[in-house]
Amino acid sequence: MEQRYVRGALIVFEGLDRSGKTTQVNRLLQDLEGTKERYPYRGMRFPDRTPANPINIEICDYLSKKKELPAREAHLLFTKQRQNQKDEMERFLQNGTTLVVDRYSHSGAAYSAAKGLPLDWCMAQEEGLPKPDLVIFLDLFADIAKNRSGFGEERFEEEPFQKRVYEQYMQLQDETWLRVNASKTEEEIAAEVRQAVLRVIEECREKPISHFGD
Ligand code: 2DT
């Protein structure tokens, strides 16, 4: 008998710093809790800042400006963290678990390209990683983001840099992206996100996982 292919979806949130990603990720996770028998899920975030291994610690030191790194080296460090999670992510997806991820490969490429690295080279380092089925881009301009609380404390949190990140993000969009106007209310955004996520979870149940570089 032919086996039915049922897998989870890879859902990724992207956007500038202070665009409301983490709030929306948490809301979506709460929403999915109500339907977890039907749609099992798991939340993840990149960078992973838990001090579980030397890579995570080095990324934290870099982001808090305790440590300087050449752009390429920094890029490869973030990529390595994702590559180390690849097998586990694939296992969850194959088991039918939807992954809801706060930042992923497109953050890696957009932030590094904003420092001057070639965007193609940045994305090439992501090859082999599972490709998101849906990228929810919370679309907020840098000059609005800077007025949200907390902007400016960490590396990258300055307006000219954020504008360059935005431009790079715009070049990375493809048919898997949903651009959501992040200046709408939290409720409105959450409703738009929920609708798109449930549609994509259903759509990709029968499809094999795709990968960057396929
Ligand atoms: P958060 O504030 O969302 O924790 O992000 N970044 C992130 C990179 O430069 N490369 C990457 O691969 C990733 C995933 C974006 C912390 C900062 O780290 C940047 C903002």
SS3 50: coil
| Candidate of 50, 102, 103 to mutate for ligand 1, largest count of ligand atoms within 8 Å of Cβ | 103
ipTM, two decimals, is: 0.98
57 lies in a domain?
yes
**Cβ(195)–Cβ(144) below 8 Å:** no
Calculate how far, in angstroms, residue 71's C-alpha sits from the geometric centre of ligand 1.
Answer: 13
- Tell the residue nearest (CA) to atom 12 of ligand 1: 108
With a Cβ cut-off of 6 Å, ligand 1 is lined by 17, 46-47, 63, 78, 103, 107-108, 111, 156
Position in ligand 1 atom list of the atom nearest CA 46: 14
155 lies in a domain?
yes
Where residue 26 sits, what CATH number does that domain have? 3.40.50.300
Q: Please tell me the total count of domains within the chain.
A: 1
Q: What is the dihedral of CA 157, 121, 75, 92, to 10 degrees?
A: 100
Calculate how far, in angstroms, residue 37's C-alpha sits from the geometric centre of ligand 1.
Answer: 32
109 lies in a domain?
yes
Supply the pLDDT for residue 151: 66
Supply the pLDDT for residue 157: 86
**Cβ(9)–Cβ(201) below 8 Å:** yes
Calculate how far, in angstroms, residue 3's C-alpha sits from the geometric centre of ligand 1.
Answer: 39
Q: Look up the pTM and report it.
A: 0.96
39-75 pLDDT, tens digit per residue, is: 999 999 999 999 999 999 999 999 999 999 999 999 9
Calculate how far, in angstroms, residue 156's C-alpha sits from the geometric centre of ligand 1.
Answer: 9
Domain that holds residue 149: 10-206
**Cβ(71)–Cβ(109) below 8 Å:** no
213 lies in a domain?
no
Question: Cα separation of 197 and 64, whole Å?
Answer: 33
3 lies in a domain?
no
Supply the pLDDT for residue 193: 98
Supply the pLDDT for residue 152: 66
Beta strands in the chain (DSSP E): 10-15, 41-45, 98-102, 134-139, 177-181
Supply the pLDDT for residue 150: 67
Which residues of the chain carry a pLDDT beneath 70?
1-4, 142, 145, 149-152
Supply the pLDDT for residue 141: 79
Position in ligand 1 atom list of the atom nearest CA 47: 14
- Tell the residue nearest (CA) to atom 16 of ligand 1: 47
